[in-house]
């Protein structure tokens, strides 16, 4: 075994020891000029591959800001990790333990289950909960969900973006009429969340939506794909998670369904989803809010400044620029910029969670600002408001060529106007059920 | 009724069932000789596949990877027997079962600690392109897996019938006290059977790994083996094969034909319904030995 591997094993052994001891990885306590990010990460367990990539990217970006800029306007960023193994009860335990520290900026659990479990508590604590690319769709309505931010993309926007992309491939939305689209979804609340929206989109554009459930965890899909072969859809949308994704691609190959007619959703778009499928994944296309690759200036700076100083978070440097790592970096950019924006209003000091929430509600990064941050092409833009906590993120599509993802579309806008009434209907019902007073964005903007 | 499609679903289900049988055989080996339901079989399967793929990714040739992984599985099997099960001899079955549950978590953690959390592809060099026979598509990979399972069952049958240690296994399975009285070493036999179970885990791990990718979820394939064991019997290799075929066929046919009537997604639990129903009629399974107690 080569020396780097030996070192990597030693590092992992130390990590495991720390986990066994129930200790945090990077103990950090926020002081007067520090802003603290509690990380409910998952580096072991079934979803560790995604967790190490995402939290690795997030930490790499926070490290870049500290190393290169000395923090945000002199306020150092601190963080610590608490292992959840993607389990809700552990995530909640971590939340209870980490929330006692001062200067909590925002929570970023990257887990639908943990996020759902925290929604009531974070409203009481008045600290923002970030669910980048996921979370409950109706939390887009910031009038009701004041502290929850499904940044860049919610499940409904994702569905609309995918349909718009298919339409673009077919030559226009009118060409969808008479087509058949099968949606192969994970048998979980996450997987089922988009059933009504695909139905709505099918009615609006005149295509047939055939929605097929794959029982968790999805390691057996022969019957679903035989049904697909029989019904001969024009496209299959893969709304998968974990092992379901490579198994879908391999089983599609088994029944002769072409990979380039399968469009993956945002949790079916990583290297971990395609590499195990081997050649069966060649030509497969998936939606993303952030392009992969390490050619962007911000990535280059991370490689030079953070990894160059031996502070990189990923054991395997080859994963820099992978889908989950880049999502972590984009998430880092959004969190840091929210803090920066809030500092402009409240002062260059440690902010309260509610002040950072204000920063998120004014997180407006146009393509020019994104370029200045070294992220041109990595993601498009974001425009969060009091009423819109998703922020009108654009999506793009990447195709797997057997070795890497290649962007194959422009930045596409979902049909927000179509989706907004459904989102509001659900959020207002939630408000009524929970006795929440719906905020008035115009009044709040006027008072700011 | 489209009979061609029905045949395709049925054949696909039977071939999937063979994959379940591969996992179930590992359970049977341990249960047959020691009466322990080894819940760690899925973790052993994960460890074997992860070790093999990690070694070959580091440049080790295929057969050297197999040999080293076999050595690792032998060591782990012996270690589990020596450090966990031997000290628990004569404890109630539930204690032994809980011990294997604990072992399962330790192996899963150790596998990720040692080899990392990344997902790996595993190419055994068998194309998984569909083969059309009489208008029915059949997976070449599944056919290969069925052939491997057949060879493994044949090998195990010969081993149990014609080798000294295999006969020792059977003697211990029939009556441990009598086996002890005629001079058989229980410790040695139990170590050997755990090793054999490790070998089965390696074969199943490679085939399942090539199918799913080598990742943590491999350990979840034990859930597919449990209804197979209930149907076929916990102590019969033939039962594991027949049970696997039944479970595979029932799952697929139910999902395709009954699933749409109830909203789909029934494949995950319908096998357990079948197994539960079967339990009521034949508690020892199709081929399982009926317990006889003298009172």
Interface ipTM: 0.86
For chain A, how big is the Rg over CA atoms in Å?
21
Task: Write down the pLDDT at residue A10.
Answer: 40
Q: Would you mind telling me the total number of residues written for chain B in this entry?
A: 295
Task: Write down the pLDDT at residue B294.
Answer: 65
Tell whether B13 is covered by a domain.
Answer: yes
Backbone angles phi, psi at A418, to 5 degrees: -70, -35
Tell whether B156 is covered by a domain.
Answer: yes
Tell whether B266 is covered by a domain.
Answer: no
Choose among A108, A52, A40, A48: nearest CA to A242.
A48
Q: Is A9 on the interface with B (CB under 8 A)?
A: yes
Task: Write down the pLDDT at residue B293.
Answer: 64
Task: Write down the pLDDT at residue B33.
Answer: 81
A281 to chain B: nearest residue by CA?
B121
Residues A268-281, mean pLDDT to the nearest whole number: 95
Mutation pick from A243, A319, A323 vs chain B, by most beta carbons of B within 10 Å, is A243
Q: How many CA atoms are closer than 13 Å to the CA of B223, on its beta-carbon side?
A: 14
Task: Write down the pLDDT at residue A1.
Answer: 30
Choose among A382, A364, A260, A379: nearest CA to A323.
A379
Burial degree of A247 (CB within 10 A; 0-12, 13-18, 19+): buried
CATH topology of domain A24-153+292-383+425-447: Rossmann fold (3.40.50)
- Determine the Cα–Cα distance for residues B249 and B270; give it in Å rounded to an integer: 11
pLDDT at A167 over 90: yes
Q: State the nearest Cα–Cα gap between B15 and chain A, in angstroms.
A: 10
Task: Write down the pLDDT at residue A22.
Answer: 41
Task: Write down the pLDDT at residue B114.
Answer: 93
Query: Between residues A295 and A12, which one has the greater pLDDT?
Result: A295
Share of chain A above pLDDT 90, in %: 84
Tokens read off for B75: 């060591």
pLDDT at A43 over 80: yes
DSSP string, A314-376: -SSGGGTTSHHHHHHHHHHHHHHHHHHHHHHHH-SSPPPHHHHHHHHHT-EE-HHHHHHTT-B
pLDDT at B69 over 90: yes
Cross-chain residue pair B255–A243, CB shorter than 8 Å? no
Question: Residue A17 — pLDDT band, cuts 50, 70, 90?
Answer: very low
Query: Which residues on chain B are in Cβ contact (under 8 Å) with A217?
Result: 217, 220
Q: State the nearest Cα–Cα gap between B192 and chain A, in angstroms.
A: 30
Query: Which residues on chain A are in Cβ contact (under 8 Å) with B139?
Result: 254
**Chain centroid offset of residue A405 CA:** 17
Cross-chain residue pair A52–B117, CB shorter than 8 Å? yes
- Read off the pLDDT of residues A308-358 as tens digits, 9 standing for 90 and up: 999 999 999 999 999 999 999 999 999 999 999 999 999 999 999 999 999
Q: How many structural domains does chain B have?
A: 1
Q: What average pLDDT does the structure give for chain A?
A: 92
Which helix (H) or strand (E) element contains residue A223?
helix A222-231
Tokens read off for B292: 């006889």
Residues B9-18, mean pLDDT to the nearest whole number: 93
- Determine the Cα–Cα distance for residues B191 and B175; give it in Å rounded to an integer: 17
Question: Residue A13 — pLDDT band, cuts 50, 70, 90?
Answer: very low
- Read off the pLDDT of residues A365-409 as tens digits, 9 standing for 90 and up: 999 999 999 999 999 999 999 999 999 999 999 999 999 999 999
Query: Which residues on chain A are in Cβ contact (under 8 Å) with B5?
Result: 226, 230
State pTM to two decimals.
0.87
Query: Which residues on chain B are in Cβ contact (under 8 Å) with A216?
Result: 268
Question: Residue A23 — pLDDT band, cuts 50, 70, 90?
Answer: very low
Cross-chain residue pair A222–B16, CB shorter than 8 Å? yes
The shortest CB-CB distance from B217 to any of A213, A219, A250 is to A219
- Read off the pLDDT of residues A88-111 as tens digits, 9 standing for 90 and up: 999 999 999 999 999 999 999 999
Task: Write down the pLDDT at residue A276.
Answer: 93
Tokens read off for A439: 């905020």
Q: Is A16 on the interface with B (CB under 8 A)?
A: yes
- Give the bridge partners for A285, in sequence order: A263, A399
Q: Is A220 on the interface with B (CB under 8 A)?
A: yes
Tokens read off for A175: 């060409």
Task: Write down the pLDDT at residue A3.
Answer: 35
pLDDT at A220 over 60: yes
The shortest CB-CB distance from B119 to any of A16, A247, A272 is to A272
Q: State the nearest Cα–Cα gap between A190 and chain B, in angstroms.
A: 14
- Give the bridge partners for A287, in sequence order: A397
Query: Which residues on chain B are in Cβ contact (under 8 Å) with A192?
Result: none
pLDDT at B149 over 80: yes
Choose among A217, A157, A142: nearest CA to A428.
A142
Lowest-confidence segment of A120-124, A313-317, B49-53, B289-293 by average pLDDT: B289-293
A13 to chain B: nearest residue by CA?
B113
At residue A183, the 3 state secondary structure works out as strand
Residues B124-150, mean pLDDT to the nearest whole number: 87
Residues A24-36, mean pLDDT to the nearest whole number: 62
Q: Would you mind telling me the total number of residues written for chain A in this entry?
A: 448
At residue A407, the 3 state secondary structure works out as strand
Tell whether B118 is covered by a domain.
Answer: yes
- Determine the Cα–Cα distance for residues A165 and A182; give it in Å rounded to an integer: 15
Task: Write down the pLDDT at residue B295.
Answer: 64
Share of chain A above pLDDT 70, in %: 93
Residues A53-61, mean pLDDT to the nearest whole number: 98
Cross-chain residue pair A275–B256, CB shorter than 8 Å? no
- Determine the Cα–Cα distance for residues A304 and A297; give it in Å rounded to an integer: 10
pLDDT at B139 over 90: no
Query: Between residues A237 and B212, which one has the greater pLDDT?
Result: A237
In eight-state DSSP terms, residue A406 is E
Q: Domain A155-288+397-414 has what CATH class?
A: alpha beta
Cross-chain residue pair A250–B128, CB shorter than 8 Å? yes
B55 to chain A: nearest residue by CA?
A1
Residues B192-204, mean pLDDT to the nearest whole number: 90
pLDDT at A26 over 70: no
pLDDT at A9 over 90: no
Q: State the nearest Cα–Cα gap between A321 and chain B, in angstroms.
A: 15
Task: Write down the pLDDT at residue A32.
Answer: 63
Cross-chain residue pair A217–B216, CB shorter than 8 Å? no
Q: State the nearest Cα–Cα gap between A222 and chain B, in angstroms.
A: 7
Is there a common fold for A24-153+292-383+425-447 and A155-288+397-414? Answer: yes
- Read off the pLDDT of residues A246-265 as tens digits, 9 standing for 90 and up: 999 999 998 999 999 999 99
Query: Between residues A98 and B163, which one has the greater pLDDT?
Result: A98
Tell whether B235 is covered by a domain.
Answer: no
Residues A26-32, mean pLDDT to the nearest whole number: 50
- Determine the Cα–Cα distance for residues B81 and B75; give it in Å rounded to an integer: 10
Cross-chain residue pair A280–B267, CB shorter than 8 Å? no
- Read off the pLDDT of residues B27-62 as tens digits, 9 standing for 90 and up: 999 998 888 899 999 999 999 999 999 999 999 999
**Which structural domain range is residue B120 located in?**
3-221
- Determine the Cα–Cα distance for residues A346 and B238; give it in Å rounded to an integer: 73
- Give the bridge partners for B133, in sequence order: B136
Q: What average pLDDT does the structure give for chain B?
A: 89
pLDDT at A12 over 50: no
Contact in structure between B148 and B207 (CB atoms under 8 Å): yes
Task: Write down the pLDDT at residue B89.
Answer: 80
Query: Which residues on chain A are in Cβ contact (under 8 Å) with B9?
Result: 222-223, 226
Can you point out the beta strands (E) in A201-298? 208-215, 235-239, 262-264, 285-288
Q: How many CA atoms are closer than 13 Å to the CA of B12, on its beta-carbon side?
A: 30
- My answer on whether omega of the bond before A277 falls inside 30° of 0, hence cis, is no
Question: Residue A31 — pLDDT band, cuts 50, 70, 90?
Answer: low
Would you say the C-alpha torsion B227, B231, B237, B240 has a positive or negative sign?
negative
For chain B, how big is the Rg over CA atoms in Å?
19
Residues A258-278, mean pLDDT to the nearest whole number: 96
The shortest CB-CB distance from B256 to any of A51, A227, A243 is to A227
Cross-chain residue pair A219–B213, CB shorter than 8 Å? no
Helix, strand, coil percent values for chain A (each to nearest 5): 50, 15, 35
Residues A209-224, mean pLDDT to the nearest whole number: 92
Residues B211-232, mean pLDDT to the nearest whole number: 90
pLDDT at A4 over 50: no
Contact in structure between B17 and B46 (CB atoms under 8 Å): no
């Amino acid at each position: 075994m080569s020396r780097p591997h030996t070192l990597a094993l030693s590092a992992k052994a130390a990590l495991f020891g720390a986990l066994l001891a129930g200790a945090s990885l990077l103990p950090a306590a926020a002081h007067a000029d520090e802003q603290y990010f509690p990380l409910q990460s998952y580096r072991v367990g079934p979803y560790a591959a995604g967790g190490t990539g995402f939290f690795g990217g997030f930490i790499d970006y926070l490290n870049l800001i500290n190393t290169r800029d000395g923090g945000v306007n002199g306020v150092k960023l601190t963080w610590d990790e608490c292992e959840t193994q993607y389990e809700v009860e552990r995530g909640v335990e971590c939340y209870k333990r980490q929330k006692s520290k001062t200067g909590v900026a925002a929570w970023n659990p990257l887990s639908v289950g943990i996020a759902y479990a925290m929604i009531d508590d974070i409203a009481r604590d008045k600290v923002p909960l970030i669910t980048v690319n996921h979370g409950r769709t109706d939390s887009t309505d910031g009038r009701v969900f004041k502290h929850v931010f499904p940044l860049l993309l919610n499940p409904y926007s994702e569905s609309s973006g995918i349909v718009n992309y298919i339409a673009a491939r077919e030559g226009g939305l009118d060409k969808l009429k008479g087509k058949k689209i099968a949606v192969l979804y994970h048998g979980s609340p996450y997987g089922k969340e988009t059933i009504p929206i695909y139905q709505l989109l099918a009615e609006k554009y005149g295509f047939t939506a055939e929605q097929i459930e794959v029982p968790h965890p999805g390691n057996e899909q022969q019957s679903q794909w035989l049904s697909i072969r029989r019904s001969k859809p024009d496209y299959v949308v893969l709304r998968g998670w974990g092992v379901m994704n490579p198994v879908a691609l391999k089983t599609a190959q088994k029944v002769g369904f072409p990979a380039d007619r399968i469009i993956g959703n945002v949790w079916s778009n990583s290297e971990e989803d395609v590499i195990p499928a081997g050649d069966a994944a060649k030509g497969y296309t998936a939606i993303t809010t952030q392009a992969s690759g390490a050619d962007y200036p911000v990535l280059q700076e991370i490689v030079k400044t953070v990894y160059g100083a031996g502070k990189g978070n990923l054991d395997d440097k080859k994963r820099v620029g992978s889908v989950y790592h880049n999502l972590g970096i984009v998430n880092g950019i959004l969190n840091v910029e929210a803090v920066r924006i809030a500092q402009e209003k409240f002062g260059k000091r440690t902010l309260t969670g509610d002040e950072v929430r204000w920063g998120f509600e004014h997180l407006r990064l146009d393509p020019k600002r994104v370029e200045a941050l070294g992220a041109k092409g990595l993601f498009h833009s974001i425009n969060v408001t009091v009423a819109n906590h998703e922020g009108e993120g654009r999506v793009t599509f990447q195709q797997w060529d057997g070795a890497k993802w290649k962007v194959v579309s422009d930045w596409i806008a979902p049909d927000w106007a179509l989706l907004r009434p459904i989102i509001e209907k659900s959020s207002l019902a939630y408000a009524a059920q929970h006795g929440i007073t719906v905020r008035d964005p115009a009044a709040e903007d006027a008072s700011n | 009724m489209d009979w061609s499609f029905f045949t395709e679903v049925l054949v696909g289900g039977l071939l999937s069932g063979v994959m379940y049988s591969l996992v179930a055989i590992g359970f049977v080996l341990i249960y047959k000789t020691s009466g322990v339901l080894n819940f760690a079989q899925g973790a052993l399967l994960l460890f074997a596949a992860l070790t093999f793929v990690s070694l070959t990714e580091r440049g080790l040739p295929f057969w050297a990877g197999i040999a080293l992984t076999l050595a690792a599985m032998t060591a782990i099997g012996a270690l589990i027997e020596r450090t966990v099960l031997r000290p628990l001899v004569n404890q109630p079955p539930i204690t032994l079962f809980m011990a294997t549950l604990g072992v399962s978590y330790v192996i899963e953690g150790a596998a990720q600690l040692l080899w990392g959390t990344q997902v790996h592809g595993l190419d055994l060099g068998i194309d998984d392109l569909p083969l059309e026979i009489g208008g029915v598509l059949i997976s070449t990979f599944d056919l290969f897996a069925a052939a491997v399972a057949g060879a493994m069952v044949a090998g195990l049958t010969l081993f149990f019938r014609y080798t000294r240690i295999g006969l020792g296994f059977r003697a211990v399975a029939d009556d441990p006290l009598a086996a002890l009285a005629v001079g058989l070493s229980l410790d040695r036999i139990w170590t050997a059977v755990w090793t054999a179970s490790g070998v089965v885990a390696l074969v199943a791990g490679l085939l399942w790994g090539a199918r799913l990718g080598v990742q943590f979820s491999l350990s979840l394939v034990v859930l597919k083996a449990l209804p197979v064991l209930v149907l076929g019997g916990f102590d019969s290799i033939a039962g594991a094969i027949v049970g696997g075929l039944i479970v595979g066929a029932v799952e697929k046919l139910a999902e395709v034909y009954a699933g749409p009537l109830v909203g789909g997604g029934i494949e995950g639990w319908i096998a357990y319904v079948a197994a539960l129903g079967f339990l009521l009629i034949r508690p020892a399974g199709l081929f399982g030995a009926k317990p006889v107690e003298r009172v």
